[in-house]
Structure 1
Amino acid sequence: MGSSHSALNFGAGPAKLPREVLAEVQTELLSYQDSGMSLMEMSHRGKEYTKINNDAQKAIRELLNVPDNYKVLFMQGGGTGAFAAVALNLMNRTGVADYAVTGTWSSKAAKEAAKYGKVNLVFPKADKPGSIPPESSWTLNPDASYVYYCDNETVDGVEFPFIPTSPHGVPIVSDMSSSIMTKKIDISKFGCIVAGAQKNIGPAGVTVVIIREDLLGNPMKICPTVFDFTVISQQNSVHNTPATFSVYVMEKVLQWIKKNGGLQAMENQSQDKSKLLYEEMENSNNFYSCPIDENCRSRINVPFRVGGPQGNEELEAKFLEEAEKLKMFQLKGHRLVGGIRASLYNAVTRDEVALLVKFMKEFRAQFS
């Protein structure tokens, strides 16, 4: 496979980072821009980090075409911290919020929000995991402070093929941790977007928040300062010491995305990669099967079973074992779901997915 493919990393997060970004970080690790100090040792208020902070915000604005009336924030606490932060900052308007629960992460977000106000589930929890009820069947509360959904369920492999809307003009909030920067989106359709970086845009430690300005300024009294969007916005994401190293690496990944054709190129590649994988499943005569409804299958996290729709645990263990011999790692499905899962984030190349599919064909020929 050549030395540039020392390992094929299909992990769900922390996930693969672009190799050239890691190489650049390595050259600067001991001495950032010939300063004789590592960026990790520098003040978050110094000119070096200030530039990185501003450049990263600017890159996000350019790549996602963020309108001027939105703020870009860098927070800590991951997606899980953001579950609380969203409620603490936005639920105050009416004390009620609408949640679309389509899998593990939106379910956790709804449970977290219920600590701070009333959560209305816009449809009953799906009898069959792996589906999104049609929007026409949703029950939306006109008094909700916001409507929340998870754009791509990393564990369950469900991705929204549409952006939900509220007939009542209620702001839409989305967790885009695993889909941000993999497709073009119209930011103006959202009140707030949150995204843990450790999948498509950087290492763990920084969470990106994009929020419309009119939604700032009304946090709950109990909202911790570290999660207060208004304070973070006023202080340009340096109210307290940020995850400087994570932001520094993220800024490099964002430049890498720009250099490699921006969001259109990432979207084309994403469609292309997932198509390779889903086609192998379609052609496998049910040896590989994906439990997700076709209209909402994720391009980014692809769960599947080996040896039939219910999966054959022995075969799946063998599949993982053989994959690791070929240096294909982190393909084990989430502990809550089982089976196999391949995550195809931006840094995972089409060639790498083609190698996985080649292995799947060979494995199927041997064991079906």
Structure 2
Amino acid sequence: MSPAALLREMFAQAVATALPARSLPDFLPAPPQGRTVVIGAGKAAASMAQVVEAHWPGPLTGLVVTRTGHGAACSRIRVVEAGHPLPDADGLAAAAAIFDMVGGLTADDLVLFLASGGGSALLALPAPGISLADKRAVGAALLGSGAAIADINCVRKHLSSIKGGRLAAAAFPARFVTLAISDVPGDDPSTIASGPGIADPTSFADARAVLDRRAIKAPDAVRRHLADAHDETPKPGDPRLARAETFIVATPLASLLAAARWAEGQGLRTLVLGDSIEGEAREVAKVMAGIALSARRHGQPLAPPLAILSGGETTVTVRGSGRGGRNAEFLLALALALDGAPDIHAIACDTDGIDGSEDNAGAILTPDSLTRARALGLDPAARLDDNDAYGFFAALNDLVVTGPTRTNVNDFRAILIR
């Protein structure tokens, strides 16, 4: 099997392990005496809803919101497609409808909340006095600032009427069960989709600190709201969350380990560096290049044939005007750091099938990527400076395009040393 085929199949194994059809059914609770209301938000929301419908033994109603193009046919649960990574009017309407659906429930009722990556942007119900335009402005600034997802979602929670435990509080006294596919480093359930059903350990002061640290010039309404801080998110021990439970049904680590097992079956040694790697994509690439070169030259930490696997969520501080995506940027920086070293190939893809806001999941790197690019008149370093990794790999015909996978356990990276 060619190096590219090996890498693509490792990625496929990682995605397959996280698909709701495989991961979700065992976590479904018993039906309640009363009503079952299924709600959800995220890139996997529609496929998760399909699985619930297929396995649920009794009546149910519901609504889930997913990214445009990530929908799936459901017969009893309404599926709404909305904007991501920035919220739009469709997401706003869906969030308002979901909030209304959980009102007036009783202790005999059950709310199933299907959470997955992307839910923060898709479930947009701004706090009083804040407009959708305000939230979009802050979100765009944060996404381009290089902020970690936990910091971005801290701010989102404190500009919301629905996130950070507020949805479960509104559903009380009904039982509120969150079934989550994790896309965040460390699998912190309060960060996945900004935790609408989970107590929030962060504060208004934390949100203000994130904006200050990243020098975000937020709209006046946002600054006033965060400074007022009179309506804090529900905290651990809040009685309104006494009947809220959370189960993580799929994780980045499980997908990495599945890919590793498959690779070992192909005769490769494997080294899983972790599922929670964060930092600037180009800086992470330099570290990964050093490990790969050490393995090739010295057989340390392991000798080839070797697959080095990692997950997490890198960030990109946008300074250029090109088309990017954090996985493509990682690979372009990796190419420069490896400088054409032979026998080293790599893949980096987002398991949701979308690298940032582009139409690719990621890309493939080969030992001759820089040589082929320069033959086409491309300057790899200049492309990286312009955050144009998408354009770089598109010119080489090395983009990985899968379309929406309808799951999301964050980034998957594999470096193959033969």
Greater RCO, CA 8 A, separation 6+: 1
Which protein has the bigger strand share? 2
TM-score for the superposition, normalised by structure 2: 0.28
